[in-house]
């Protein structure tokens, strides 16, 4: 039976890597996944999903006006679709999350969404709010704060490492702009004004960056 899944976490927990591994697993079994990525995510190239370890794949692009149910149904008229995978699912709208439930319930296609739960102010994203409410299965992907505790929140920082308290909810960036922290550390840096401690990535962490995307994953 098809289900709607939401895999959520703070940043740098391996969400995109897990998505691309899932896509690979489907293709390895002769099945065809359909991938989606938001148009606002242009860190690499629009329409390309890339993990921190360099895995890449082409994907269909969605914005706030995209009807995901109709997009999947149109694709289904041309090709088989065995699974739908959505990267950065926090950027979905309420209507789009509902459309994904329709993909599951009317088309019997499983949908796997991967995204952040909360923004840099500790508030739920719109997409995450309704995925938490409507998904059949929820799974937290875990990562670690520099304090050693489980990181459950994200802070946006300035060039000096201090947490920003105001700004647009959507601002694309990587490790130089966002840091995953525990709830306790979030209070220290967001409310208490403490400087965030940056952790340098291990040698070779960027291996594979710039690799050509896998054309077969869309």
Catalytic positions are 88
> Tokens 């490492």 — which residue?
161
The gap between the terminal CA atoms of the chain, to the nearest Å, is 23
Asked if 131 and 115 count as a contact pair (C-beta separation under 8 A), the reply is yes
CA distance linking residue 155 with residue 29, whole number of Å: 39
**CA distances in angstroms from 5 to 38, 130, 209, listed in the order given:** 18, 12, 28
Closest CA to 125 of 86, 169, 165, 166: 169
Report the chain's C-alpha Rg in angstroms: 17
Determine the Cα–Cα distance for residues 131 and 138; give it in Å rounded to an integer: 9
Q: DSSP state, 209?
A: T
On whether the CB atoms of residues 118 and 107 are closer than 8 A, the answer is no
10 and 146 Cβ atoms separated by less than 8 Å: no
With tokens 């499983």, the residue in question is 110
């Amino acid at each position: 039976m098809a289900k709607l899944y939401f895999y959520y976490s703070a940043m740098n927990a391996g969400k995109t890597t897990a998505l691309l591994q899932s896509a690979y697993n489907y293709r390895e079994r002769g099945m065809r996944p359909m991938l989606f990525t938001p148009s606002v995510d242009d860190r690499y190239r629009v329409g390309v999903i890339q993990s921190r370890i360099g895995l890449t794949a082409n994907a269909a692009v969605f914005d706030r006006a995209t009807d995901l149910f109709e997009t999947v149904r149109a694709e289904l008229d041309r090709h088989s679709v065995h699974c739908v995978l959505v990267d950065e699912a926090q950027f979905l709208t309420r209507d789009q999350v509902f459309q994904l439930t329709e993909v599951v319930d009317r088309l019997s296609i499983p949908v796997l969404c991967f995204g952040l739960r909360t923004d840099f102010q500790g508030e739920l994203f719109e997409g995450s709010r309704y995925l938490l409410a409507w998904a059949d299965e929820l799974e937290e992907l875990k990562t670690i704060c520099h304090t050693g505790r489980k990181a459950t929140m994200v802070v946006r920082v300035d060039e000096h490492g201090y947490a920003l308290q105001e700004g647009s909810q959507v601002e694309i960036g990587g490790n130089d702009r966002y840091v995953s922290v525990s709830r306790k550390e979030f209070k220290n840096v967001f409310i208490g004004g403490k400087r965030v401690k940056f952790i340098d990535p291990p040698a070779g962490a960027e291996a594979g960056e710039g690799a050509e995307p896998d054309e077969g994953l869309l």
